[in-house]
Structure 1
Amino acid sequence: MIRSMTAFATQQGHADSATWTWDVRSVNGRGLDIKVRVPDGIDGLEAKVRAAVTKSATRGNVTIGLRLAREQADGALQIDPARLDLILEALDAIQDRAFDKGVTLGQPTAADVLAHRGVLVAAQTDVNVDLAEPIWADFETALSAMIDMREVEGRSLLSVITAQVDQIETLTAQAVDATKSRSDGVKTQMAKALGRIMEDATGADPDRVAQELALIAVKSDITEEIDRLGAHVKAARDLLATGGPCGRKLDFLTQEFNREANTLCSKAQDVAVTQIGLALKAVIDQLREQVQNVE
């Protein structure tokens, strides 16, 4: 079963005085790109998250975020050391600057310092190390839900891609029939062309002229393109049947499909075959768009 690269999942949890929400999202990507945003306080969490995602997915831009909220400790207040240091450093710089200018400033009081925003904050309960286990369990639940969604989306993609591959096979068969129908016309046109050339080309070597016409006929032959299109259809079906991470291979096949369709159009020399070639290019482009979503 193929999987889509587009999915998302969320999981909420709580324990003791803390609540948290995991947010796991995945979108299309050429490789596997993992972005993790988790708060400090749980050692090794980010590394474990990255390892779990790497084990579960092979492609996609995956973004994981954890929002952790802790209850306040009964209205108690505490000082934010980092913010306090910034304020004190700023006050020192102001005092030094004023001294250089010959200006004497009064010393700020503790109340003045505490009045600055962010120095005095509501106290929070410490992160309990016992939270690591339930938080990790909820992440595994969220990751599993995201992978399940990728598989559900993959089933929808499989149906669409299979129908498009079937359409390519049908158009290829139509090209074969159209080629058979044009063969007699091409022979007649070449015979008339040879007759006109021989009438107007005094002293021309009939064998050489026939050889040149034969080369033109070979260049307009689309048998190889038809055969390769059939081989690509079989390869695509084999990949879809095997399942697993096959997006890169399918993407390569769409390039090969498109190459053969372009060559078929350039060699067509027939309205019906040209129309089939253009229809092939349209379906192949639609297939390419869908394949971009496959892991």
Structure 2
Amino acid sequence: MALVSMTGFTRVSGTFQTYRWIWEIKTVNGKGLDLRLRLPPGFDDLDRPLRQMTGERLTRGSCFISLNLQQEANAPTLKVNEQVLDAVLATMKKIEKRVDAKKPSLDGLLAIKGVLEPMEDEESEETRAALTEALLESFKEAIRDVEEMRRAEGAALEQILLQRVDELDALTKAAEDCPARSPEAIRDKLRAQIDRILEASSGLDEDRLYQEAVLLAGKADIREELDRLYAHCEAVRGLIAEDRPVGRKLDFLAQEFNREANTLCSKSNDTSLTAIGLELKATIEQLREQIQNVE
């Protein structure tokens, strides 16, 4: 299984009767799964199923979901307001003997404000249920698209991580083979340091200096750090091969890599070994930056 990235984006459109919509999903890296939904008014009932479907597909990352829903306007339907019409006719009857005027025509009556009023189309429960189902089916397509994009980016991430691990392996081997680590080189360097100290102060005990030199030589030994660096490289390769989200474990390993590199640099007894340690730290940082995007 390839690694899965936490970065993805998709936009999916759909239609149902007079409705048109666009689902938009954007995911970026995050410590856990953080869902943020933006739904049109009156569609809050979609919140729970959307969260459930997303949680079944994604395990980590900040996920932004928005629904842009529009309804095409139908031709207006008009109805007669009987109460207003009755009131108009009653008033006309009262004043028809007092005013010499023609009887009102039909179009004249209908033109009076309030006699005709638009009818609001009432959406049936069946229509609303069918719309909700269509929206959720469309969302399933969108979340699948995001998942596929995250997998594609994860496959590219896998190659980058493996390349970085190979570089760390090579640097660890270079530190192991560094001439400054040979017993002869360490012995010569300690002897030169002791000679300088003895020349500066002839009153020092040579046996005591020898004991201190042994302790210093032990502290300068980086065998354990090298073994752990090798082990961490193998652990990263093993995690990448697992069929589950491993981003958190990889992040922990990146911290452990850095800890060993820091110790190696602090124990270094030569500039050449220090240079390798610094290059290790730089490569570890590149590895860590890429790991931040792994689910």
Instruction: Give the TM-score range, shorter chain.
Output: 0.7 to 0.9
CA distance in 1 between partners of 2:182 and 2:157 (Å): 37
Pairwise mapping of residues 166-177 of structure 1 onto structure 2 (< 5 A)?
166-177=166-177
CA distance in 2 between partners of 1:197 and 1:69 (Å): 85
CA distance in 2 between partners of 1:236 and 1:75 (Å): 65
What does residue 156 of structure 1 align with? Answer: 156
What does residue 286 of structure 1 align with? Answer: 286
CA distance in 2 between partners of 1:122 and 1:144 (Å): 41
Residues 180, 270 of structure 2: 8 Å contact kept = no
* SS of corresponding position for 1:25: strand
- Alignment-mate amino acid for residue 239 of structure 1: L
CA spacing shift, 1:122–1:153, aligned 2, 3 Å: farther
CA distance in 2 between partners of 1:246 and 1:64 (Å): 24
Pairwise mapping of residues 1-295 of structure 1 onto structure 2 (< 5 A)?
1-42=2-43, 44-75=45-76, 126=123, 128-129=127-128, 130-178=130-178, 182-198=182-198, 201-202=201-202, 204-295=204-295
State the Cα deviation string for residues 228-262 of structure 1 (Å, max 9, x = none): 11111111111111142111111111111111111
CA distance in 2 between partners of 1:204 and 1:11 (Å): 81
* SS of corresponding position for 1:290: helix
CA distance in 1 between partners of 2:209 and 2:123 (Å): 93
CA distance in 2 between partners of 1:46 and 1:62 (Å): 14
Residues 17, 125 of structure 1: 8 Å contact kept = no
C-alpha displacement of 1:197: 4.3
C-alpha displacement of 1:211: 0.7
Q: Report the count of equivalent residues.
A: 255
CA distance in 2 between partners of 1:226 and 1:202 (Å): 38
CA distance in 1 between partners of 2:37 and 2:202 (Å): 81
* SS of corresponding position for 1:74: coil
Unaligned runs of 5+ in 1: 78-113, 115-119
* SS of corresponding position for 1:68: strand
- Alignment-mate amino acid for residue 174 of structure 2: Q
Which portions of structure 1, spanning 4 or more consecutive aligned residues, are displaced by more than 2 angstroms? 39-44, 120-128, 179-183, 191-207
State the Cα deviation string for residues 156-209 of structure 1 (Å, max 9, x = none): 000001100110000000000005654322211222333454566555433322
Unaligned runs of 5+ in 2: 79-113
Cα-Cα RMSD:
2.5
* SS of corresponding position for 1:242: coil
* SS of corresponding position for 1:211: helix
State the Cα deviation string for residues 72-110 of structure 1 (Å, max 9, x = none): 131459xxxxxxxxxxxxxxxxxxxxxxxxxxxxxxxxx
CA spacing shift, 1:37–1:200, aligned 2, 3 Å: closer
C-alpha displacement of 1:40: 4.0
CA distance in 2 between partners of 1:121 and 1:182 (Å): 95
Say which is worse superposed, 120-129 or 25-34, in terms of deviation.
120-129
* SS of corresponding position for 1:5: coil
Say which is worse superposed, 65-74 or 198-207, in terms of deviation.
198-207
* SS of corresponding position for 1:44: helix
What does residue 93 of structure 1 align with? Answer: none
- Relative to the length of structure 2, the TM-score reads 0.79
Residues 180, 269 of structure 2: 8 Å contact kept = no
- Relative to the length of structure 1, the TM-score reads 0.79
